[in-house]
């Protein structure tokens, strides 16, 4: 079941495409990944280690609630990343290792 979008449908044509966990998402040039995902469904972007759902909150790169994997790169802030055509976005679940950590 997909939650209803929190935003109104845009009147302008949507021209860029990305995928979220294999599902196509339409976006406009200049959108951030977080804006495109919120406009598409409003669903959670990730889960914490305890399983709590998280989605974009501050939309300015401060809170890290919008962390996703983009084109194979984990821990990427969706609110700070501009959409490119063909991006592959995946939700994150639980803790991810930091670059340079023991799990590298």
Residue 94's pLDDT is what?
Answer: 82
- Bridge partners (DSSP) of residue 43 are none
The rounded distance, in Å, linking the Cα atoms of 52 and 47 is 5
- The model's pTM: 0.78
Q: Is pLDDT at 104 greater than 50 in this prediction?
A: no
Q: Other CB atoms closer than 10 Å to residue 40's CB: what's the count?
A: 19
Positive or negative: CA dihedral 60, 63, 68, 69: positive
pLDDT in tens, 19-45: 999 999 999 999 999 999 999 888 898
Residue 1's pLDDT is what?
Answer: 43
């Amino acid at each position: 079941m997909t939650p209803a979008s929190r935003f109104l449908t845009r009147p302008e044509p949507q021209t860029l495409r990305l995928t979220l966990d294999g599902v196509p998402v339409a976006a406009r040039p200049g959108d951030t990944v977080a804006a495109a995902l919120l406009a598409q469904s409003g669903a959670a972007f990730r889960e914490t280690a305890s399983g709590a759902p998280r989605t974009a909150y501050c939309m300015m790169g401060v809170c890290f609630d919008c962390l996703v994997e983009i084109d194979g790169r984990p821990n990427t802030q969706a609110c700070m990343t501009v959409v490119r055509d063909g991006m592959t976005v995946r939700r994150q679940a639980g803790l991810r290792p930091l670059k340079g950590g023991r799990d590298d």
